[in-house]
Amino acid sequence: MSQAATEPIHVTDSDHFEKLIADNDVVLVDYYADWCGPCKMLAPTVEELAAESDAAVLKVDIDELQELASEKGIRSVPTIEFYHNGEAADRVVGVQDKADLQAALDELRA
User: Active-site residues: which are they?
Assistant: 36, 39
- Whole-angstrom Cα distance, residue 32 to residue 79? 7
Local structure of residue 102 (DSSP, 8 states): H
- Whole-angstrom Cα distance, residue 76 to residue 87? 21
Which are the contacts of 73, defined by CB distance < 8 A and separation ≥ 6? none
Contact (CB, 8 A) for 34 and 63: yes
Reference 42, options 92, 86, 108, 1; nearest CA is 92
